[in-house]
Amino acid sequence: MDIQALTFDTGDTVLDWHGGLITAFERIGARNGVYREWHSLANDWRRRTMKGIVGQRLPDFHMDDVHRRTLDETLAHFGLGSFSEDDRLELWRTWHRLDAWPDFPVALAAIRERLPVVSFTMLPTSLIVDVSRRNGITWDAIVSCEMIGVYKPHPEAYQTAARWLNLAPAQILMVACHNFDLDAARQVGFKTAFVKRPHEWGPEGPPDPVPNPACDLIVDGFDALRAHVLAG
């Protein structure tokens, strides 16, 4: 593959959102004397958020806004309306304090010595800045769908990212842990790499764990991706 840059889905592929949310729910729940099986609640919040942002065109909101609205919906659905506004703000801010998956920062730094690396994400720019600083991650660029005004999986989002990088889509390797992002990128000409994240959704497992065989590369983690890129 003649790859000149890599773009990374960030919210799932790079960040352990489920683990971060579970820790926050356990802490805040204990403070309120509430003990639950928090995995289902965290996943419900994530599903509602994705439903509210995927495919949007020129919205007057971004993903932080959706996180805040859908948190209220999830808490109400699970009978936790008694959580205070301070509790809710603490949960909401958890998204800006997430940890990266352990295999990512070192692998990214090694890849970046060879090629430009770009966060290409539906998350808001401020969130990417916060979690990148927290995890010692350095990008060559951040391309948020918030900037573009069109959200994945619209073709325009991928086409705009390629244009801003001054590259043909076929010169970019899109890296993600889910098929909908990679399938859409491939349709406009990107090369694609599926990185498996079997623990992304906790015990429930990811919604689409089986990579589309049309991917140019399928790896078990970022150590394998790094080895492939550096060997190329």
Residue closest to 56 by CA, chosen among 161, 154, 151, 153: 151
CB-based contact 38:201 (threshold 8 Å): no
**CATH number of the domain at 5-16+99-231, please?**
3.40.50.1000
* Residue 222, number of CB atoms within 10 A of its CB: 25
Q: Which helix (H) or strand (E) holds 218?
A: strand 217-219
CA distances from 18 to 47, 79, 128, 146, 185 (A): 12, 20, 17, 23, 25
Angle, helix 85-93 to helix 63-77, in steps of 10 degrees: 130
- CA pair distance 216, 229, nearest whole angstrom: 12
Q: In this predicted model, what pLDDT tens digit does every residue of 89-101 receive, in sequence order?
A: 999 999 999 999 9
The domain ranges of the chain are: 5-16+99-231, 17-97
Q: In this predicted model, what pLDDT tens digit does every residue of 203-225 receive, in sequence order?
A: 999 999 999 999 999 999 999 99
Mean pLDDT score, 137-155: 97
Q: In this predicted model, what pLDDT tens digit does every residue of 154-188 receive, in sequence order?
A: 999 999 999 999 999 999 999 999 999 999 999 99
For the chain, give the mean pLDDT: 96
- CA pair distance 126, 144, nearest whole angstrom: 10
Q: Is the pLDDT reported for residue 58 higher than 90?
A: no
* Fold adopted by 17-97: DNA polymerase; domain 1 (1.10.150)
Task: Fill in the DSSP letter of residue 99.
Answer: P
User: What is the value of pTM for the model shown?
Assistant: 0.96
- CA pair distance 206, 187, nearest whole angstrom: 23
